[in-house]
A and B are shown apart, each in its own frame.
Chain A
Amino acid sequence: MPATTRPSALSPSLRGWLVPVGSVLAGLFAFGLFVAAIGHNPFEVFATIAEGGFASSFAWQNTLLRAAPLILTGLAVALPAQAGLVVIGAEGALALGALAASVAVSPIAAQLPSQLVPLAWLAGGLAGMAAGGAWYALIGLFRARRGLNETISSLLMSYIAIAVFNHLVEGPMRDAASLNKPSTLPLPSESMIGSLPGLEVHWGLLLGIVACLLAQIVISRSTWGFSLRVAGGNPRAAMLVGLPVGTLIVMACVAGGASAGLAGAIEVMAVHGSANASVLAGYGTTGILVSFMARHQPLAVIPVAVLMGGIAAAGSLLQRRLDLPDATTMVLQGLLFVAILAGDAFRPKDQ
């Protein structure tokens, strides 16, 4: 068959990889200029970033531990994005997931012999997913039935969810012993989720990676995923060919909310042991950044979340070693974000 297009200098798949890598390098270069402008040696700064985030086993575990919740909250934005929705209320869904898990795990774990405690985690995880998913279902319904803008409604719903969380944690669900830090009843330490074998990173990391892999397979290989992408790409065309666009929108929202809810449940079961204000550390917000940088591709959410985790770990060392303020890491995040969005202009058309 004769070639129908002019051969490009680079194949699309190679360009598909080169563009994000090049964008990250451009962002880093801009950050180097910024660092030099405020009177620091950029090479020393980059060496510190490498040491803090990536250059040792300790640094990698630090990075991965920080990345774990971001994978799930990134996915919470990426999944509704397949249906063309910009849903940014993951912090609220995470709060409700945390609350649901804190209620579900303890009574179940108390009934089980110690070797069956993972069943209680399963229950906690499902409870968290159900809570987050149900909350996001409302956002999907508002959108599908009433045409309500999902970005605004998810943001406002997030505030409501956090207010409900605070009310319950400080009121009806408060452990009377938690005097100066209102919390729900703590899980017994033996019912906490532990670390991955050989690592000091909890199982939430693996769950997040598995969730991203599953999401990618469903989206790119299943009929459901194809329908979803058609609905997201052109809702009117999707309706003309008879796709249930409203249902797809709600389902995508439920999946996103479940992902954020699971993140909250894991925070309670693996890190905090109870639901309290510390659980709301902004993971839901950073997830927005992660998903946009990953171009809403579930598989790409993983490396981007790891990059964000690494920047946070590196920022920690930058503060201690070079006395740079915390805002330095935000500048780096911002420059990378802008560089990756700008890199879109160079992407092959079919991507």
Chain B
Amino acid sequence: MNPSRRSMLRAAGATGIVSATGLPLAAHAQAPITVGVIYVGPRDDFGYNQAQAQAAAILKKMPGVKVVEEEKVPETVAVQKTMEAMITQDKASLIFATSFGYFDPHVLKVAEKYPNVRFEHCGGLWTDGKHPKNVGSFFGYIDGAQYVAGVVAGHMSKTKKLGFVAAKPIPQVLRNINAFTMGARSVDPSITTRVIFTGDWSMPVKEAEATNSLIDQGVDVVTCHVDGPKVVVETAEKRGIMSCGYHASQAALAPKGYLTGAEWDWSTPYKELVEAARNKKPMINFLRGGLKEGFVKMSPYGASVSPAAKAAGDAARASLTTGDFVIFKGPLKDNKGGTVIAGGTKLEMTNVELEKMNYLVEGVVGTIPA
């Protein structure tokens, strides 16, 4: 198909000629829409970007939805131009900017220039009165899923030492380390989690070194919060220990040792946001959910997971899904002995206080650098 015919068709779609002439597109009650999805890394990274790309793949199957994608877009003017190009060259009217660093200043700047295009950013920073109305943020509470993974890991560990390879000591990462540890310690309070910070989101060599170092310290279940957990999970499998995944499923990389994992299910917010955009419903500026809302999910249990561990994992998931159980509640101590949440205080998953987390809980072996 030559470009001019394509642009003709696109133009026709945009002006509604297609529906007037009764072409097959008109059979759909809903208006066609072009959605742009931008990833900061490769779409097949077995991690953060793959989780987003899986949701984009589901959008592609929705009738009348055209998806244009671009991977490895850095958080510079490049992403500003990519968003603009999706709008001007591809006629996208909804943009999913999936990397945290895209938001400020890039999404905010381009959104002001294109007030009729919706920008949905993954990360959760939109503030009423401060940010443009055509910008929204969606995110998931994945600490619940990390807690469940911790419960399963706690049941499976024999050495009672777990390992966590973490990127940067930012609140989101600390929250995952803490939830995973607390899940494991709910099984056996003698369990500890050793954490190593690599310093950046994608450092494959350091991630492998960190994993090996953790295994040498006697850790027998390892998990991580880095962009691509591939190296961590593969290293664990090679060394014959167990692993829990993150972002997407890494089960295929570790058929023996993969226990479960905390995964995003971005198709839930993606579908809701696309429906709102194509039906001209009001802009959704703030959208979040956890296990209950289907924003996050668990990887299916691996072959080696014992029935007791499965039962405990299912029970933890059920109580987190109904909301009966709150992970972060007082009295809670950090790993230096200080009280971080006073007795009687319950911080529900949605509490913004948790988004400023700057401590590692009791049972985590390691310190926050800098």
Decide yes or no whether B21 CB sits under 8 A from chain A.
no
Partner of B90, one of A65, A172, A320: A320
Decide yes or no whether B370 CB sits under 8 A from chain A.
yes
**Residue-wise interface mask of B (68-106) relative to A, using a CB-CB cutoff of 8 A (1 in contact, 0 not):** 111111111110011011101110000000001100110
Q: What's the minimum C-beta distance from B183 to chain A, rounded to whole angstroms? A: 22
Interface centre among A48, A166, A278 (most CB of B within 10 A): A278
Known: A179-B171, A312-B78. A320 touches B71 (CB 8 A): no
* Residue contact B69 to A282, C-beta cutoff 8 Å: no
Partner of A316, one of B2, B42, B70, B355: B70
Partner of B370, one of A52, A167, A282, A312: A167
For A276, list chain B residues within 8 Å (CB): 101
Q: What's the minimum C-beta distance from A304 to chain B, rounded to whole angstroms? A: 18
Partner of B75, one of A44, A278, A323, A326: A278
CA distance A109 to B288 in the complex (A): 38
CA distance A181 to B69 in the complex (A): 24
CA distance A179 to B172 in the complex (A): 9
For A316, list chain B residues within 8 Å (CB): 70, 73, 78, 81-82, 85
* Residue contact A66 to B71, C-beta cutoff 8 Å: no
Q: Is the interface of A mostly helix, strand, loop or mixed?
A: helix
CA distance A281 to B101 in the complex (A): 12
* Residue contact A171 to B370, C-beta cutoff 8 Å: yes
For A323, list chain B residues within 8 Å (CB): 69
Decide yes or no whether B9 CB sits under 8 A from chain A.
no
Q: What's the minimum C-beta distance from A321 to chain B, rounded to whole angstroms? A: 8
* Residue contact B74 to A282, C-beta cutoff 8 Å: yes
Known: A65-B81, A325-B71. A181 touches B100 (CB 8 A): yes
**Residue-wise interface mask of B (143-162) relative to A, using a CB-CB cutoff of 8 A (1 in contact, 0 not):** 00000000000000000000
Decide yes or no whether A89 CB sits under 8 A from chain B.
no
Decide yes or no whether A58 CB sits under 8 A from chain B.
yes
Decide yes or no whether B170 CB sits under 8 A from chain A.
yes
* Residue contact A180 to B171, C-beta cutoff 8 Å: yes
Decide yes or no whether A148 CB sits under 8 A from chain B.
no
For B81, list chain A residues within 8 Å (CB): 62, 65-66, 313, 316
For B85, list chain A residues within 8 Å (CB): 52, 58, 62, 313, 316-317, 320
- List A residues 164-182 near B (Cβ within 8 Å): 166-167, 170-172, 179-182
Q: Which residue of A lies closest to B356 (CB)?
A: A179
* Residue contact B355 to A179, C-beta cutoff 8 Å: yes
For A48, list chain B residues within 8 Å (CB): 3
* Residue contact A58 to B3, C-beta cutoff 8 Å: no
Q: What's the minimum C-beta distance from B98 to chain A, rounded to whole angstroms? A: 14
**Residue-wise interface mask of A (261-295) relative to B, using a CB-CB cutoff of 8 A (1 in contact, 0 not):** 00000010001110011110110000000000000
Decide yes or no whether B261 CB sits under 8 A from chain A.
no
Decide yes or no whether A216 CB sits under 8 A from chain B.
no
* Residue contact B105 to A272, C-beta cutoff 8 Å: yes
For B74, list chain A residues within 8 Å (CB): 278, 281-282
Q: What's the minimum C-beta distance from A86 to chain B, rounded to whole angstroms? A: 24
Q: What's the minimum C-beta distance from B34 to chain A, rounded to whole angstroms? A: 10
Known: A65-B77, A281-B76. A319 touches B69 (CB 8 A): yes
CA distance A281 to B79 in the complex (A): 12
For A166, list chain B residues within 8 Å (CB): 199-200
For B68, list chain A residues within 8 Å (CB): 320-321
Decide yes or no whether B269 CB sits under 8 A from chain A.
no
CA distance A30 to B340 in the complex (A): 62
CA distance A180 to B355 in the complex (A): 9
Decide yes or no whether A342 CB sits under 8 A from chain B.
no
Partner of A281, one of B71, B75, B169: B75
Decide yes or no whether B123 CB sits under 8 A from chain A.
yes
Known: A278-B75, A326-B72. A181 touches B105 (CB 8 A): no
CA distance A279 to B84 in the complex (A): 20
Decide yes or no whether A25 CB sits under 8 A from chain B.
no
For A312, list chain B residues within 8 Å (CB): 78
Decide yes or no whether B333 CB sits under 8 A from chain A.
no
Interface centre among B77, B168, B199, B355 (most CB of A within 10 A): B77
**Residue-wise interface mask of A (143-175) relative to B, using a CB-CB cutoff of 8 A (1 in contact, 0 not):** 000000000000000000000001100111000
CA distance A113 to B200 in the complex (A): 39
For B355, list chain A residues within 8 Å (CB): 179-180
- List A residues 306-330 near B (Cβ within 8 Å): 312-313, 316-317, 319-321, 323, 325-326
* Residue contact A320 to B69, C-beta cutoff 8 Å: yes
* Residue contact A320 to B76, C-beta cutoff 8 Å: no
* Residue contact B172 to A278, C-beta cutoff 8 Å: no
Known: A65-B77, A278-B74, A320-B70. A58 touches B199 (CB 8 A): no
Q: What's the minimum C-beta distance from A350 to chain B, rounded to whole angstroms? A: 39
CA distance A181 to B3 in the complex (A): 40
Q: Which residue of B lies closest to A278 (CB)?
A: B75
CA distance A273 to B84 in the complex (A): 20
Q: What's the minimum C-beta distance from A101 to chain B, rounded to whole angstroms? A: 16
A-B pairs, top 8 by smallest CB distance, nearest first, are A171-B370, A278-B75, A281-B74, A320-B68, A326-B72, A62-B81, A281-B76, A319-B70
A-B contact pairs, 19 of them (CB 8 A): A44-B2, A51-B3, A58-B84, A66-B77, A166-B200, A172-B370, A179-B355, A180-B170, A272-B76, A277-B101, A281-B76, A313-B81, A313-B85, A316-B78, A319-B69, A320-B85, A321-B90, A323-B69, A326-B71
List the interface of chain A (C-beta within 8 A of B): 44, 47-48, 51-52, 58, 62, 65-66, 166-167, 170-172, 179-182, 267, 271-273, 276-279, 281-282, 312-313, 316-317, 319-321, 323, 325-326
